[in-house]
Homo-oligomer: A and B are copies of this chain.
Amino acid sequence: MSDNTTLTVPALQERVDAIFRKAGLNEIQAGALARVIVAGERDACKSHGIYRIEGALRTVKAGKVKPDAVPELLLQEGSAIVKVNAKGGFANPAFELGLPALVERARSCGLAALVINDCTHFSALWSEAEGLSEQGLAGLVMCPSYATVAPTGGNKPLLGTNPFAFAWPRVGKSSYVFDFATSVAARGEIELHRRAGKPLPEGWAIDADGNPTTDPEAALAGAMLPFGGHKGSAIGTMIELLAGIMIGDLTSPEVLDYLGTTTLAPFHGELIIAFSPEAFAAGRPGNPFARAETLFEAIVGQGARLPSQRRYLARAKSEADGITLTDAEIKQLERLFALGLEAVA
């Protein structure tokens, strides 16, 4: 226990923010980035927590994201589309800028979309989906990533791991939220198997010749597979079309061409769709929020779990008791603060 340090959520926010400010990010970039990273750490979602600071700094150092970008809001009279140009900065401050306009349009039109263009994205989508459900809206969020997944029946990386997230608001409770890659596994999980010298489960990947493989090295040289066979492959393709091509931003193969690596955060766009359950249900019998609780009770009542329950338990604990970091994690935060961009390769 003597090797651990416990920080309150705001205290960790302040530390992460200070690292980004010292590394040259402006106030809006640093603040939004720190909020999403601390939310990951708070929810025990370690793969999207402070571990990500280094990747963000590496992307800044490589010149692939603008640390001083000021996102711009583009509104058009009568349109249900809210656009934010991230101006080459991170997606997170662009989302924060666009959210109030998206909420207003979704309430008045019944549904609305937020398009973020020219952004670097590296956080989990659940935080944005929750941003909508906290306002009483349902939300759907998606974006491409890098070409690392072969379409079903194919043999080469083309699609990204293309995350797909959804949130439904719950009165007085944490939202119903899911957020998953449309590949069977995340690329990081294959990397973990490689390091541990363990074979992959069947069905995760193919080798460079397109044959099924359980060898992590062969999988990294080949391609990952979509979840759920041709159905997941179709959803991954839909995300390239809607959240890449339709919004006039890069697809996963174009992202990989642009960056030349999967070690930097992807530069592309993002699509967020917001629905007002009140507008949709108007004039119909039943309260949609109460009826959703009946569905959730039926799911939980038969022993199934709602998604995000593990995150919400961790969140409650972090908010009550603080976030506990290891000595190595604290040292790394201190190192990143002291060295800034010099700390990353």
Contact = CB atoms under 8 A, between A and B. Distances in A.
Given A155-B302, A298-B253, A307 B234 contact: yes
A246 to B, nearest CB: 5
19 contacts: A79-B110, A110-B113, A117-B284, A150-B304, A151-B299, A156-B302, A158-B299, A176-B237, A180-B231, A180-B234, A182-B231, A227-B229, A228-B228, A228-B231, A245-B277, A245-B291, A248-B280, A248-B286, A253-B298
Given A248-B281, A303-B155, A234 B292 contact: no
Q: Using C-beta atoms within 8 Å of the partner chain, give the interface range for chain A.
A: 35 or more
A53 to B, nearest CB: 29
List 9 A-B pairs, minimum CB-CB distance, nearest first.
A248-B284, A228-B228, A154-B304, A81-B110, A153-B304, A154-B302, A80-B109, A178-B234, A151-B304
Contacts of A288: 245-246, 248
Nearest to A249: B284
How many identical chains are in the complex? 2
A232 B228 contact: yes
A240 B158 CA distance: 31
Contact of A110 (B80, B154, B158, B240): B80
Considering residues A253, A291, A295, A305, which has the most beta carbons from chain B within 10 angstroms of its beta carbon? A295
Interface of chain A: mostly helix, strand, loop or mixed: mixed
A233 to B, nearest CB: 8
Contacts of A178: 231, 234, 238
Contacts of A275: 113, 242, 246
Q: Which of A152, A280, A281, A286 has the largest number of chain B CB atoms within 10 A? A: A280
A337 interface: no
Given A109-B78, A113-B110, A292 B155 contact: no
